Amino acid sequence: MIRTDASRAIGTGHVRRSLALAHALRELGAEVRFVTRDLGADAGSIIGQAGFPVLQLPARNEPVPPSAVPHAAWAEVSIERDVMDTAEVLRAERPDWVVLDHYAFDAVWHNAIRAELGSRIAVIDDLADRMLSADLIVDHNFAPDHRVKYEGRAARESILLGGPRYALLGPAFAQAERYASQDPPASIGVFLGGVDSDNASAVVLNAIDRAGFKGPVEIVSTSVNPNLTALQTVAAARPGTSVRTDLPDLTGFFARHSLQVGAGGGATWERCCIGAPTVLLVLAENQLAVVPALVAENIVVSPEPLGTRDVDAVAAAIRALLDDATRRSVMSERARALVDGHGARRVALRMLAEGVTVRAAVRDDAERMYRWRNHPATRLVSRNVGEITWSNHLAWLDRVLDDPGKKLMIGMVGTLPIGVIRFDRLDTSRAEVSLYLDPMLHGLGLGSNMLRAAEAVVDDDLDILAEVAEGNGGSARMFESAEYARIDVTRWIKPAKGRVQAKRAG
């Protein structure tokens, strides 16, 4: 269950990133519904058009009391009232997870919903400006250290997924066409958020003219933009300029223009994924946590001083990027390296990690196993660090599948393969385990859960041995958490007796 809103104050970005997570969860077999309140931007319609059920909270007309939560007024109801309304529509459902993407609510809301429904709470945030009481915090913005960022803001121990690796982008972005360098620049794209209440798009259009660019300009907005009619009028007076609204996704828009002008909100990571060279404006205070870091890494350019909306400063930034094809190319490469488009899937997998299952491997798994096993991250912690040839891999797989003393299995979350695990019987009382994950999915708790699921199908009378390469702290922690005992520097064991007792207790 996902609780989020949209309005002129909030914008539509929270709904967009929540939908990205919803798509990823549904792809993995989860049932997803939304809870929202109509605050004037018709979030329910946006969500419904994306194919998800919506539970609509009743409209309220009451003052929001003073609060320590900086953005409490954005909810247009008190925290206590929203808890009552949300719990009422969810009480019959009692979802496993309630995902909250809303700056107006803090630990009071989290604790109350957890108490009412028994659900785990995931919070999508990037401000760290209020107390949180979440089981999972997702912050896909830059930060030198997300643990430090949320220090003193977490009322309970939380799993923290921080950084653009977890950027919540829609499903189209992972496989979308990427930006291709264009020189000389042919066109400019402008997207300054779904609401753009200050009509910054008109300022940018003026700046493009002052920069001397005479080519086509495409402006994207939404039907909830309060300045849409005025913007359309201004655009109509400029040859080659169009305004498009309510695009289902922006992948093609970001890819087809020589450069983009945008705001430092959630669409920043969409542009990075496509590799679009961007002039990035600061249109909200929280964007100052993102834009300076991207400028420092030469991933975007921004008008100086940061946060200015001076037309001449915006024009100078646009002109500088138009005149430098090499810089546009470098920025595109660095942006794509930062965001790969799979962040929403990673978050969904972390939420569903306890549901890992295993199935027997088959020869049709050969290609994915080969790709995962030969990845540098896997080879680095393997006994054999060399690259394996395709013919040797197929010969090995045939031998393993035909050997009754070996169990080769694929870890699964829903219908998605996530890793490989193998048990080799050494003698009548011992077996050795080895495993590796899809290298894109490290750090999500999947390895320990795949190990647990696979142990359940191994004979109860076998001690299980494991070998961990020196320096592979992640695997060592995984086996320790799975109640393996260290034998020496590299070897671990889980006795049959301990496994049977754990299985009975479970």
Q: What is the pLDDT of residues 187-213, one digit of tens each?
A: 999 999 888 988 999 999 999 999 999
* pLDDT band at residue 27 under the 50/70/90 scheme: very high
Distance CA(162)–CA(142), nearest Å, equals: 8
CATH code for residues 353-505: 3.40.630.30
Distance CA(386)–CA(374), nearest Å, equals: 8
Q: Class of the 173-338 domain?
A: alpha beta
Count other C-beta atoms under 10 Å from residue 68's C-beta: 10
What's the sign of the alpha-carbon dihedral 334, 327, 289, 342? negative
Give the tens place of pLDDT for each residue, 424-453: 999 999 999 999 999 999 999 999 999 999
User: What are the residues whose beta carbons fall under 8 Å from the beta carbon of 215, sequence distance 6 or more?
Assistant: 185, 186, 187, 188, 240
Dihedral angle of Cα 126, 347, 444, 94, to the nearest 10 degrees: 110
Of 495, 412, 413, the closest CA to residue 458 belongs to: 495
Give the tens place of pLDDT for each residue, 285-332: 888 888 999 999 999 999 999 889 999 999 999 999 999 999 999 999
Distance CA(432)–CA(423), nearest Å, equals: 5
Full DSSP string of 119-167: -EEEEE-S---S-B--SEEEE-S--S-HHHHTTTTBSS--EEEESGGG-
Shared fold status for 2-162 and 353-505: no
From residue 115, alpha-carbon distances to 71, 87, 100, 109, 119 in Å are 24, 10, 15, 10, 8
> What angle separates helix 325-338 from helix 267-274, to the nearest 10 degrees?
110
| Mean pLDDT for the stretch of residues 29-40 | 96
| Mean pLDDT for the stretch of residues 171-199 | 93
Residue 501: its pLDDT value, please?
58
Distance CA(1)–CA(156), nearest Å, equals: 21
* pLDDT band at residue 221 under the 50/70/90 scheme: very high
Count other C-beta atoms under 10 Å from residue 225's C-beta: 24
3 state DSSP class of 391: helix
Confirm or reject CATH 3.30.379.10 for domain 2-162, answering yes or no: no
Alpha carbon 159 to chain centroid, angstroms: 14
Structural domain spans, the chain: 2-162, 173-338, 353-505
Dihedral angle of Cα 282, 283, 284, 288, to the nearest 10 degrees: 0
Residue 143: its pLDDT value, please?
87
Dihedral angle of Cα 290, 296, 299, 300, to the nearest 10 degrees: 70
